[in-house]
Amino acid sequence: MRILLIHQYFLEKDDGGGSRFNEFTRHWAQEGHKITVIAGMVHYNTGKKRDKYKGKFTVKERYSENIDVLRCHVSESYNSSFLGRLWGYFSFVFSSIFAGVFKINNKYDIIISTSPPLFIGITAYMLSKLKGIPFLFEIRDLWPESAIDTGVLTNKPLIKLSYWFESFIYKKASLINVLTPAFREKLITNKGVRQSKIIYIPNAADFSLSDRYLETFDRKKFRENLDIDDCLAVIYVGAHGVANALSQILDTASILKGEKVVFLLVGAGMQKIQLIEEARRRGLTNVKFIDPVPKSEIFKYILASDIGSSVLKRVDTFKTVYSNKTFDYMSCKKPVLMAIDGVSRKLVEDAECGYYVEPENPEEFARKITCYIENPSLLKIHGESGYKYAKKHFDREFLAGKYLSELKKINNDVQ
């Protein structure tokens, strides 16, 4: 197949962070499928452009023999304010449509558009009409609900416009992929999308990477280099933004100051500087901030840790999401402390791979960590259980094949 993927936050080769489509496209390319990605130049976490993109409207990069990435202009006002972020979204809409029309000459069988941002659907719809090919719209996060619940979107006319556009895109897409069962339920019951139009390909665990490290990784040496050898290490991997509410981890660290517990926060985001300053002000020497690392390296930090943590702000919308990092913890046989209610809580409870923690409740967070201190055998029991459950239900290689099968069905229906 020839696939055109529109993904504003598609990662660079050496980038850290969630890599859902970097991994899916890698699997598809290995099977001989051709993929072109239209992506943005501004990084989701830092809100900045690398020097090689500055002053340029589009830049083409080759990731592999079968994967080309066309980076498009995004305004660097992205992280300045809400209006700046809005302009960041729409500047990409304009540049990505331009790129799709004038910079790409290949013929494609299918377009995939992955949201957020919701407005990326404009590019998918326009290129679908202009090129006469169907598009699949993927929902990684319910928008605008998540933006409303976190206080990012408050303007009533913009909210009304966003809901109208959401409905429009759902009608025009040939197929809609959702990442959680809760998303599917919301679309059917609240948004009037027919069930036959929805597929479910969730986030996944990359066992090809984790299994390799499980066999060869020198955990003791890595822990010594991090100066955590005699501590129970709790890791968080991901964005440091408003929605993540990482202050709850600092509060937990404060409660456990007297214990041999260390927290590793790996990633970047708008709140990182403030978090570092807050930890310094409070004298939290049991918190270590680590810059983002490539996907191939992140497993070392997870394997060097004892517990993985997944946290978000306490809002209703986040009850519908799976935290991507959770699957990485499970694939590395680490128990999970899940400070996200809803389907993520159910995931941990069904897999018997850790504990649910009430979001933004540091006292409970500390109590659950103490459970592992007092019962260290649970670390292995919960870790093994999570690995087996993820292997059965969330294997990236299997899901990549399932996704491709759905894309082929759309293409066959059109033909």
As a three-state string, the secondary structure of the chain is: CEEEEECCCCCCCCCECCCHHHHHHHHHHHCCCEEEEEEECECCCCCCECHHHCCCCEEEEEEECCEEEEEECCCCCCCCCHHHHHHHHHHHHHHHHHHHHHHCCCCCCEEEEEECCCCHHHHHHHHHHHHCCCEEEEECCCCCHHHHHCCCCCCHHHHHHHHHHHHHHHHHCCEEEECCHHHHHHHHHCCCCCHHHEEECCCCECHHHHHHHHHHCCHHHHHHHHCCCCCEEEEEECCCCHHHCCHHHHHHHHHCCCCCEEEEEECCCCCHHHHHHHHHHCCCCCEEEECCCEHHHHHHHHHHCCEEEEECCCCHHHHHCCCHHHHHHHHCCCCEEEECCCHHHHHHHHHCCEEECCCCCHHHHHHHHHHHHHCCHHHHHHHHHHHHHHHHHCEHHHHHHHHHHHHHHHHHHHC
In the prediction, which pLDDT does 154 show? 79
Same domain, 254 and 375: yes
Same domain, 244 and 295: yes
In the prediction, which pLDDT does 297 show? 87
* CB count in 10 Å sphere of residue 343: 20
Same domain, 211 and 195: no
- Per the structure, the complete domain to which residue 248 belongs is given by 207-393
* Per-residue pLDDT tens digits for 262-286: 999 999 888 999 999 999 999 999 9
Residue 414 has pLDDT above 80, yes or no: no
In the prediction, which pLDDT does 276 show? 98
Same domain, 200 and 211: no
Same domain, 399 and 311: no
Residue 269 sits in a domain of what CATH number?
Answer: 3.40.50.2000
* Per-residue pLDDT tens digits for 317-351: 899 999 889 999 999 999 999 999 999 999 999 99
Same domain, 124 and 270: no
In the prediction, which pLDDT does 7 show? 96
Q: Which two tokens mark 373?
A: 């201190």
Number of domains in the chain: 2
Same domain, 291 and 347: yes
Mean residue pLDDT of the chain comes to 92
* Per-residue pLDDT tens digits for 104-115: 988 999 999 999
Same domain, 39 and 185: yes
Same domain, 172 and 267: no
Same domain, 222 and 173: no
Same domain, 217 and 126: no
Same domain, 369 and 221: yes
* Per-residue pLDDT tens digits for 177-213: 999 999 999 999 999 999 999 999 999 988 987 888 8
Type of residue at 162: S
Pairwise pLDDT comparison (389 vs 14), residue with the higher score: 389
Confidence grade of residue 80 (pLDDT, cut at 50, 70, 90): low
